[in-house]
Chains A and B, each alone.
Chain A
Amino acid sequence: MKKFLVAMALSFAAVASHAADSLRIAVLAEPYPPFSQKMPDGKWEGFEIDLIHKICTDMKVKCQIVDTAWDGIIPALLSNKVDAIFASMSITKERAKKVLFTHPYYNTLPAVVGLPGQDYSMTKKALKGKYIGVQNGTTSAFYIKKKVGSVAHIRQYATQDEINSDLLAGRLDYMLADNIAAKAFADKNKGAVQFYGTVKYDPVLGGGVAAALRPNDKALAARFNKEIDQLVKSKFYADLSDKYFGTNIAPTNN
Chain B
Amino acid sequence: MNWVFEYSDLLIKGFLTTLELISFSLVIGFVCAIGVALCRVSETRWLAWPANAFTSVIRGTPLLVQIYIVYFGLGSIFAHMPIIRSSFIWPYLRDGFWYMVFALVLSFAAYVGEVVRGGLVGVPKGELEAAKAIGMSPYKVMLRIRLPRALYQVLPTLAGESVMLLKSTALASTIAVVDLLGAANEVRSMTFEVYQPLILVAIIYIVLTLIIEQFFGRLERRIPVRR
Contact = CB atoms under 8 A, between A and B. Distances in A.
Q: Tell whether A pairs with B.
A: yes
Interface of A: 71, 74-75, 78, 94-95, 97-98, 131, 133, 136-137, 141-142, 155-158, 162, 165-166, 168-171
Contacts of A169: 72, 75-76, 79
Given A71-B185, A136-B185, A136-B189, A170 B94 contact: yes
A249 to B, nearest CB: 25
- Which range holds the interface residue count of chain B? 20 to 34
Nearest to A157: B176
A156 B76 contact: no
Contacts of A156: 176, 178, 182, 186
Contacts of A95: 192
Contact of A94 (B80, B185, B192): B192
Contacts of B185: 71, 136, 158
A141 B185 CA distance: 13
B85 interface: yes
Interface string B167-187: 000000111101000100110
Contacts of A97: 192
Nearest to A136: B189
A136 B75 CA distance: 22
Given A136-B185, A136-B186, A155-B176, A171 B75 contact: yes
Nearest to A97: B192
Interface of B: 72, 75-76, 79-80, 85, 94-95, 173-176, 178, 182, 185-186, 188-192, 194
With most chain A CB atoms within 10 A of its CB, the pick from B79, B176, B191 is: B176
Contact of A71 (B79, B85, B188): B188
A80 to B, nearest CB: 13
Given A71-B189, A74-B192, 14 more contacts: A71-B185, A71-B188, A78-B194, A136-B185, A136-B186, A137-B188, A137-B189, A142-B190, A156-B182, A158-B173, A162-B176, A165-B76, A170-B79, A171-B79
A170 B185 CA distance: 25
Given A158-B174, A165-B72, A171-B94, A94 B188 contact: no
A170 B95 CA distance: 11
A168 B176 CA distance: 15
B89 to A, nearest CB: 14
Contacts of A142: 190
Given A156-B186, A170-B79, A171-B79, A74 B176 contact: no
B194 A75 contact: yes
A94 B190 contact: yes
B96 to A, nearest CB: 8
A170 B85 contact: yes
Contacts of A131: 94
Nearest to B72: A165
Nearest to B94: A171
A98 B192 contact: yes
24 contacts: A71-B185, A71-B188, A74-B194, A78-B194, A94-B190, A97-B192, A131-B94, A136-B186, A136-B189, A137-B189, A137-B190, A141-B189, A142-B190, A155-B176, A156-B176, A156-B186, A158-B173, A158-B185, A162-B175, A165-B76, A168-B76, A169-B75, A170-B76, A171-B75
A141 B186 CA distance: 10
B188 A166 contact: no
A211 to B, nearest CB: 17
A78 B192 CA distance: 11
